[in-house]
Amino acid sequence: MLQSVNLKSGNLITAWIDYMNGKKKLDIFLSYSSFKPEKPLLTVNIDLSRYLNEFMYVGFSASTEGSTELHYIENWSFQTMGFHPVRPRIHPHNVSDSSVPHTPPTPVSNSGNKHHERIRLGLGIGFPAFFCSVLVVFGWISVKKWRDSRTEKSLKAELVTGPRQYSYKEIKSATRGFHSSRIVGHGAFGTVYKAFFTELGTTSAVKRSKHAHEGKTEFLAELSIIACLRHKNLVPLQGWCVEKGELLLVYEFMPHGSLDSLLYADSENGNPLQWSYRYNIAVGLASVLTYLHQECEQQVIHRDVKTSNIMLDANYNARLGDFGLARIMDHGKSPVSTLTAGTMGYLAPEYLQYGKATEKTDVFSYGVVILELASGRRPIERETESHKMVNLVDWVWMLHSEGKIIEAADKNMNGEYDKKEMKKLLLVGLSCANPDSMERPPMRGVLQILNNEAEPMVVPKAKPTLTFSNSLPLSIDDIVLDCEDSVMPESQFEIRLE
């Protein structure tokens, strides 16, 4: 931030860099408008005469080194002016003072000299400046026409092959001014609205960031990551809008909403999600995580895999969404410690301890989701009789240790499920939610097990215990006890420290 100009605002910024060789001074001006401010934001005393010539080539380059770019150059120009013309000699060559009679100069008034000097100086500076200005204006018009033509062509291509840029007016009209009746969900970074685009004849979901200035990082992360991804089990991104201080993402509308609403609300109403859909959701989610972890050019760590971020299309296929916390890293590269972010109950123990998100932290979250699908229970919920908070992973592992893991199956299904598949899903869930990250299977291995291409992993009867070099800030038991003392009405608890 430089005074009143925020370099990360996303607004168009004009910069002027002026160097005056006579004063050996470099001035830098910044403004949101095209009018140059009176005072520079930065002044540096430096001699650049060695590097600047009357005729020279000028350019610049930059690199983000694989990171997401925050700025780009709309257009630029370079000009020099004010070079003094070569003054003529006062006396002709090869003429001595003695060969020509000395004639005293005609006296001229001081004011006349000054007047002519001003005219010469004005012509010497004004004409080149005018000529350069004409060239700049002509070049700007030509470049603008070319850019407009290129942008129009690229947008037409994007309508078919990728996300397009929507206008704020379009989205506001499609959501009836972001009316409360169009709200279909709330996420960590904003609200989701149902939108009807009458001109396109389509229905979409619009994600609106709750605080544009705070959600810019998450918005850019989600846009830059998901715009490059292509998989049948991802929520397709249709477009975006950055206008009037709003950060908006437009997604394909998912008719059946989120998995958690179908898994819990519908079950409570006597309409449980049928088994074939549940198993298919587990397979689809394993497939897309395999893609993100192992098949993309760079590894994508989602960091927020949970039932509320899994949407269901018209055929009840799983579609993973909400990449606001996602991170990209090179394959085989060690993760960097970050502030812990995610939802309690889905967070791997080592992530809570060290803050390092890897593919194995996503695998842990996937394991919890699988256990939810099989049991119909939330990751952490209050027991009806004892009113104690129970951790889902611990509860299923206890049943497994007693040799009756099948009793973890969702009672609301009334036994209408394939017992072999149910047991397989529960064992896969436990193997993925193993406290020891080294013992968790890769997502490709999970997919092979679910597709009957490999045998399930052997899950130990006793839940493994894990110790860290430093004391764990929150153990699973601490989490349960903390939730037990909480007065929050929901049974899930979110950590949002980023």
Considering the candidates 304, 313, 322, 362, report the single residue annotated as catalytic.
304
Interacting residues of 263 by C-beta distance below 8 A, sequence separation 6+: 273, 307, 372, 373, 376
What tokens appear for 306 in the block? Answer: 């949970």
Long-range contacts of residues 353-357, Cβ cutoff 8 Å, at least 24 apart = 353/468, 353/470, 353/472, 353/473, 357/301, 357/303, 357/327
Interacting residues of 129 by C-beta distance below 8 A, sequence separation 6+: 81
HSE-CB for 468 with a 13 A CA cutoff: 14
CB 274 within 8 A of CB 216: no
DSSP character string of 266-307: HHHTT-PPPHHHHHHHHHHHHHHHHIIIIISSSEEE-S---G
CA 93 – CA 10 distance, rounded (Å): 63
For residue 213, what pLDDT is reported?
Answer: 55
CB 204 within 8 A of CB 173: no
CA 440 to chain centre: 28
List, in sequence order, every residue forming a beta bridge with 182; answer none if it has no partner.
none
Cα-only R_g, the chain: 34
DSSP annotation of 415 reads: T
CB 426 within 8 A of CB 405: yes
CA 253 – CA 265 distance, rounded (Å): 20
Query: Residue 340, class by beta-carbon neighbours within 10 Å (0-12 exposed, 13-18 middle, 19+ buried)?
Result: buried
Pairing of strands 164-165, 237-243: parallel
Per-residue tens of pLDDT for the chain, all 498 residues: 445 677 766 667 888 888 877 788 888 888 877 777 888 888 888 887 777 776 677 776 666 554 445 566 766 666 665 444 444 444 444 444 444 444 444 444 455 555 556 555 555 555 566 556 666 666 666 665 665 455 444 434 443 445 788 999 999 999 999 999 999 887 667 789 999 998 888 899 999 886 655 566 667 777 778 788 889 999 999 999 988 888 899 999 999 999 998 998 766 677 889 999 999 999 999 999 999 999 988 899 999 999 999 999 999 999 999 887 888 877 665 554 455 566 888 999 988 888 888 999 999 999 999 999 999 999 998 877 777 889 999 999 999 999 999 999 999 999 999 999 999 999 999 999 999 999 999 999 999 999 999 998 899 999 988 766 554 444 444 444 444 443 333 444 444 333
For residue 327, what pLDDT is reported?
Answer: 85
What tokens appear for 361 in the block? Answer: 């932290």
What tokens appear for 256 in the block? Answer: 């059946």
Residues in binding site: 207
Backbone angles phi, psi at 331, to 5 degrees: -60, 135
What tokens appear for 369 in the block? Answer: 């989701």
CA 425 – CA 375 distance, rounded (Å): 10
What tokens appear for 258 in the block? Answer: 């989120």
CA 366 – CA 318 distance, rounded (Å): 13
List, in sequence order, every residue forming a beta bridge with 183; answer none if it has no partner.
193
Long-range contacts of residues 335-338, Cβ cutoff 8 Å, at least 24 apart = 335/301, 338/498
Query: Residue 211, class by beta-carbon neighbours within 10 Å (0-12 exposed, 13-18 middle, 19+ buried)?
Result: exposed
Q: Three-state DSSP class for 310?
A: strand
HSE-CB for 71 with a 13 A CA cutoff: 13
Residues in binding site for ATP: 207
pTM over 0.85: no
Q: Three-state DSSP class for 200?
A: coil
Q: How far is CA 109 from CA 88, 106, 112, 312, in A?
A: 22, 10, 5, 92
Report all structural domains of the chain as residue ranges with CATH numbers, in order of start: 1-49 (no CATH), 165-252 (3.30.200.20), 259-496 (1.10.510.10)
CB 416 within 8 A of CB 275: yes
Q: Three-state DSSP class for 237?
A: strand
CA 439 – CA 426 distance, rounded (Å): 16
Residue holding tokens 């991104």? 237
Could you count the other beta carbons within 10 Å of the beta carbon of residue 333? 9
Pairing of strands 42-45, 25-31: antiparallel
> Is 362 a catalytic site residue?
no
